[in-house]
Amino acid sequence: MSDRLFHFLFPEVCIVCGKLLMPFENGCCTACRNSFEAFSDCVEAGAVLMHSIESHFKGNCFFERAFCRYVFHRQSPLQKALHAMKYEGMYDLGVLFGRELGAWISDAVPPESIDCLVPVPLHRLKHIERSFNQAEKIALGMAETLQKPVRTDLLLRGRFTVSQTGLHVRARRRNLDGAFQTPLPDMPGRILLVDDVVTTGATVVAAAEALKRGGAASVSVAALALAAKE
């Protein structure tokens, strides 16, 4: 039985370990959630994410602020949860993760520092294949906490790109060259760009550059997780 079908037939079990969920648990049991490697401080997490991106781009700074909740490890419970979210139809997990990330951010920055949330978009063909955009689901959950609009009309992925997995930094940048466009003439000033997992930062950097070319005064980035160097 596929994982997608299993969770459709038995929605009240943990998507990581398969154990029955308690009434107060949603999607993932408390034990598995506690096994995710979480940052202990929002400011420190942002500094680590910013440094990681800058280390891949010769110290260039692309973001006003950075926010991150977890460290992503391969073969970890968090990877299994994110895989279920992206590929097994468990997209409601994105909203749950987004609420958590939004609360994490709201404790660290004043609300007036953000005008809107912009999820990193999928190409329309990939969106059709997957039926949803995981970054958008995360942004929708964040919006419930931050009380800011989610703008999916400000950034488009006009060129289909191959998966970034397995590509080194230069190849990732070449793969994303010209991939993002800003179709509207009016751009909010302070944008919070949202993605699920940042590895080298190539995707969010390319998206931020497009937003700035389109007129954004500043772009910050929020990622659910930062990939560990393994």
Average pLDDT over residues 204-223: 95
Are 117 and 150 in contact, with CB atoms under 8 Å apart? Answer: yes
Are 60 and 54 in contact, with CB atoms under 8 Å apart? Answer: yes
**Is 30 in the same domain as 117?**
no
Give the pLDDT confidence of 63-82 residue by residue, as tens digits.
999 999 999 999 999 999 99
**Is 4 in the same domain as 69?**
no
Residues 6+ apart with CB under 8 A from 121: 127, 133, 135, 136, 152, 155, 156, 157, 180
Helix runs in the chain, H state only: 3-9, 30-35, 42-56, 77-87, 92-106, 124-130, 134-146, 169-176, 202-213
Neighbours of 64 (CB within 10 A): 18
**Is 138 in the same domain as 207?**
yes
Where is average pLDDT lowest: 22-36, 54-68, 165-179, 202-216? 165-179
The domain tally of the chain equals: 2
CATH number at residue 127: 3.40.50
**Is 89 in the same domain as 6?**
no
pLDDT band per the 50, 70, 90 thresholds, residue 173: low
Higher pLDDT, 132 or 230: 132
d(CA 186, CA 223): 25
Q: What is the pTM of this model?
A: 0.88
Give the pLDDT confidence of 83-117 residue by residue, as tens digits.
988 888 788 899 999 999 999 999 889 888 999 99
**Is 98 in the same domain as 165?**
yes
Higher pLDDT, 6 or 24: 24
**Is 131 in the same domain as 73?**
yes
> Which structural domain range is residue 192 located in?
41-227
